[in-house]
Amino acid sequence: MFETLTKAPQDKIFALMAEIAADDRPGKIDLGVGVYKDDEGDTPVMSAVKKAEERMLATARTKTYIGVAGNKAFCNAMVDLALAGAAPADRVRAVQAPGGTGALWIVLTLLKRARPDATVWISDPSWPNHKPMAEQAGFRVEAYPYFDPATRSVRFEQMLAKLDTLGPDDIVLLHGCCHNPTGANLTPAQWDEVVASLSRTGAFPLVDLAYQGFGDGLEEDAYGARAVARAIPEFVLATSCSKNFGIYRERAGCAIVAGKNATAADIANSQMLNIVRGAYSQPPDHGAEIVRTILEDKELRAEWQAELEAMRQRMVANRQALADAIRARSNSSDFDFVAEHRGMFSLLGLGVETVNELKAQNAVYMLDDSRINIAGLADERIQRLADAIVGATR
């Protein structure tokens, strides 16, 4: 049977994790995998999550099947969290998904059924899983201009010029906030222009919102998704609870679709249910029930928001500290962009030789494209990282 196959490529992040684990130099700095870390380098369970789990344990009465759409109260809460009424409820449907990746898979499969000959447009660069996922769904994938390595910011003019050439057979995948891998994001005014372009051309928006609350705040980070929802009658949105609830391994996310009327929304929803039923029947409940418990309870919700805000502020502070530390050593503003970026990631714009040199000389690990994860950098590590970066880029 399997002689017909060749080995599939290994995901680069998992390969890097293995490389880091094999390095026994003390003080190695891991800027690789995309999880939030505290000063000790741990990814702790949020206290609101622990409390929700305690309540669940005390009150759970059954583990019977939840249904193909999953936890409906969770889905409603996720739609509210992302869209806050920006699209009328009678046109919006949602299905619980195993993580943001699962949500992306559901909406891509839905779009393939709806528009089999469409092209999916992703940002250049994008999260490394976007292209293979869209290809696996059967789409042709192209890239629109996004990141300018010279300024380390969004090349907005070029992005918009490309989007203006698209049409109804094009699906535009947009990062809702905290762009992965670059850290460079659209401003609200730029989102408005993107939405106006999509309205003009009829190109179809797919918004990937995996980091709500990690950038500028829970409401601020939803600006783009809500601008799309207000102006464009049909769109899809994939959300994730992995990062903002810190429940990575529980696999909770939500596939959200808006149709131009209730009938269209119902049809799209029935297709999503059909897709789920034919793949894994129903999603796991535990993570979704944690999120539902938190979002529906005033006190737990406030506690979660405060914890999330503390994480966000810590990442912003780490950014400023790293930019300041590099500036102090290099006497140049070359890395000031790190403080402007938002979310967990920044693309440093280093060549692969420099990335390898940092690994070999300083035990500093980042992805080959020079993406770093800014979370988990305690002060002493920020200073050593600044030394290493300035040393390697002199």
Ligand X SMILES: Cc1ncc(COP(=O)(O)O)c(C=O)c1O
Catalytic machinery residues? 127, 208, 210, 243
Distance, in Å, from the CA atom of 100 to the CA atom of 96, rounded to the nearest integer, reads 10
For residues 310 and 125, the answer to whether their CB atoms sit within 8 Å is no
Q: How far is the CB of 24 from ligand X (least distance, A)?
A: 28
Please, which of residues 241-300 interact with ligand X by CB under 6 A?
242, 248, 253
Whole-angstrom distance, CA of residue 333 vs CA of residue 335: 6
Question: Is residue 297 classed exposed, middle or buried when 0-12, 13-18 and 19+ CB atoms within 10 A define those classes?
Answer: middle
Q: Is 92 exposed, middle or buried (0-12, 13-18, 19+ CB in 10 A)?
A: buried
Of 123 and 362, which has the nearer Cβ to ligand X?
123
What is the 8-class DSSP label of residue 215? S
Q: Is 100 in the site for ligand X (CB under 6 A)?
A: yes
343 interacts with ligand X by CB under 6 A: no
Closer residue to ligand X in complex, CB, 104/265: 104
Closer to ligand X by Cβ: residue 159 or 265 = 159
**Residue 125 is a binding residue for ligand X (CB under 6 A):** no
Closest CA to 225 of 78, 83, 79: 83
Binding status of residue 34 toward ligand X by CB under 6 A: yes
| CB 346, CB 182: distance < 8 Å | yes
> Can you tell me which of 71, 96, 197, 240 binds ligand X, judged by CB under 6 A?
240
The residue within the footprint of ligand X, chosen from 71, 77, 87, 99 (CB under 6 A), is: 99
From the CB of 343, what's the least distance to ligand X, in Å? 9
Nearer to ligand X, 249 or 277 (CB): 249
Nearer Cβ to ligand X, position 240 or 370?
Answer: 240
Nearer to ligand X, 252 or 363 (CB): 252
What's the CA gap between 237 and 94, in Å, rounded? 9
Cα 151 from chain centroid? 23
Listed ranges 42-50, 99-107, 137-145, 256-264: which one lies at the site for ligand X (CB under 6 A): 99-107
- Counting residues that bind ligand X (by CB under 6 A) gives 13
CB crowding 227-243: b at 16 or more within 10 Å, else e: bbbebbebbbbbbbbbb
Nearest distance, CB of residue 324 and ligand X, angstroms: 27
Full DSSP string of 224-243: HHHHHHHH-SSEEEEEE-TT
Strand order across the beta sheet in which 92-97 lies: 92-97, 253-258, 235-240, 204-209, 170-175, 119-124, 140-145
Q: Does 213 bind ligand X (CB under 6 A)?
A: no
Asked whether position 182 contacts ligand X by CB under 6 A, the answer is: no
User: Binder to ligand X among 110, 141, 203, 210 (CB under 6 A)?
Assistant: 210
Rounded to a whole number of angstroms, the minimum distance from the CB of residue 95 to ligand X is 15
Q: Does residue 346 belong to the site contacting ligand X (CB under 6 A)?
A: no
Q: Which residues bind ligand X (CB under 6 A)?
A: 34, 99-101, 127, 175, 180, 208, 210, 240, 242, 248, 253
